[in-house]
Amino acid sequence: MNIVLLGYGKMGKVIEKIALDRGHQIVARIDVNNRQDFDALTLSQVDAVIEFSHPSSAFQNVKACLEKGFPVVCGTTGWLENKPEVEALAIEKGGAFFWSSNYSVGVNIFFQLNKMLAKLINPQKQYTVSTTEIHHTEKKDSPSGTAITIAEGLIENLDGKEKWINNEIPAENEVAIWSAREGKVPGTHIVKYISDIDQIEISHVAHGRQGFALGAVLAAEWIVGKKGVFGMDDLLAL
């Protein structure tokens, strides 16, 4: 299939290698220096776009893809206030929009485990919950999109939790996300339940960008020919 990479930083380069290894063609590599090349692309040249850019440009990038009829897989976080508008545009245009806060298969299994554990813990009011995320110093948004997804899973399944906060002492109705930026850490996420007598903890530690990149390519392969709004739960049938 013919793939456009919209955003060609470190992640884009890892995606490129995996896509080529799986027999696909990269028909364009778009960044801030050659945006005009994207504008010149036509539907006959493109099977899917994989968008990993910057929070400040993701919204316009995804809109441009949908306006041109390109199925788009987006992994950029930090712009979710505009996501409902993009989803509505995808439906209006009969297009395909795939978004995930994290494309790692392991992380998406972790999301489900997080929800299951929260359901089990919910009756046990002696536990206090928090989540920690650690990423490399080049990551632009804080907290990570993955941490937000984890916190939303907690809010969904723990009575009395209504919102998350970042790097602040939480109120009773809040879930604390503690964010840190250290060295070249690809991504670590931890959920802790602490009581006076014990602690329960689950974690996911990424060893590199390969897992995220493979998931994005799998999503691009999966979305071709589909119409609608999708995520990793659809791809993995979770």
> Which residue shows structure tokens 């991504």?
187
As annotated, the active-site residues are 135, 139
> Which residue shows structure tokens 């993955």?
146
Q: CA 153, CA 121: separation in Å to the nearest integer?
A: 13
* Per-residue confidence (pLDDT) for residue 215, from 0 to 100: 94
The mean pLDDT value of the chain amounts to 95
pLDDT level of residue 133 (50, 70, 90 thresholds): very high
CATH code for the structural domain at 105-205: 3.30.360.10
Does position 45 have pLDDT exceeding 80, yes or no? yes
The residues spanned by each domain of the chain are: 2-103+210-236, 105-205
Question: DSSP code of 23?
Answer: T
Does position 238 have pLDDT exceeding 80, yes or no? no
Shared fold status for 2-103+210-236 and 105-205: no
pLDDT in tens, 62-103: 999 999 999 999 999 889 899 999 999 999 999 999 999 889
Single out the residue of 130, 4, 2 nearest to residue 62, CA to CA.
4
- Give one DSSP letter per residue of 69-122, joined into a string: T--EEE---S-GGGHHHHHHHHHHHT-EEEE-S---HHHHHHHHHHHHHHHHHT
Which residue has better confidence, 80 or 22? 22
Task: Kindly tell me the number of DSSP H helices and DSSP E strands found in the chain.
Answer: 8, 11
Mean pLDDT of 55-63: 94
Architecture of domain 2-103+210-236: 3-Layer(aba) Sandwich (3.40)
* Per-residue confidence (pLDDT) for residue 237, from 0 to 100: 86
Which of 61-65, 139-143, 154-158, 229-233 has the weakest average pLDDT?
139-143
* Per-residue confidence (pLDDT) for residue 208, from 0 to 100: 84
What amino acid is encoded at 45 in this protein?
A: Q
Asked whether the beta carbons of 108 and 232 are under 8 A apart, the reply is yes
* Per-residue confidence (pLDDT) for residue 167, from 0 to 100: 96
Mean pLDDT of 10-30: 96
